[in-house]
Amino acid sequence: MPERAVFLDRDGTINEEVGFLNNPDQLKLITGTAEALKLLNNMGFLTVVISNQSGIARGFLTEDRLLEINRELTTMLRESGAIIDKIYYCPHHPDAEISRYHRDCDCRKPNPGMLRRAAEELSVDLQKSFVIGDKISDLTAGFAAGCRTVLVLTGYGRKSQQRIGELSFAPDFIAQDLLDAARWIRRKTLEVSKTSSV
């Protein structure tokens, strides 16, 4: 049976936005993040991070350093009882300083490549899944993949909210933060369960 997933942007959604985060010491969880993830874990959703990391292409950090940062993030959350099941990232950029990352790829959001890869590798039903992020590119990737989308007003969220009119679609929900988004997903999931049981 296909899995349901909640796909999460990282910077500005899970942890505080600091520009090009390149050191684990810069990690600071947004208030309510661990509680939100625990709620999603308990509802049976896979929690999957999908993150553009063009700082690698620009030479601000290496892939090894990114993996170190991601390990620290998962450790911080695990210590609070919250689980991230998988992390995907795109290191590419069409204007990359480092030649091997110089690519106009399908995995860089707003393209849906990371979502489709996750769906294949983790047996996820994208139609029953959600994407949460603070940028227009997160919403666009989610919509292209057939997921429901949630804009959070943390990180760049308030600036993104001003640009929603540029989109050919509307996010399914605008949340104050990740915890607000998780609670909305719980409400939607309960509504579906009640409808299915009638």
CA distance 83 to 37: 7
| Whole-number CA gyration radius for the chain | 16
145-152 long-range contacts (CB < 8 A, ≥24 apart) are 145/112, 145/115, 145/116, 145/119, 147/7, 147/115, 148/172, 148/173, 148/188, 149/173, 150/174, 150/175, 150/181, 150/184, 150/185, 151/175, 152/12, 152/13, 152/176, 152/177, 152/178, 152/180, 152/181
Q: Are 9 and 21 in contact (CB under 8 A)?
A: no
Taking Cα atoms as reference points, which of 70, 50, 55 lies closest to residue 140? 50
Is 9 labeled as catalytic in the residue annotation?
Answer: yes
Report the run of H or E that residue 55 belongs to, with start and end: helix 54-57
**11 is annotated as an active-site residue:** yes
> What are the residue numbers of the active site?
9, 11
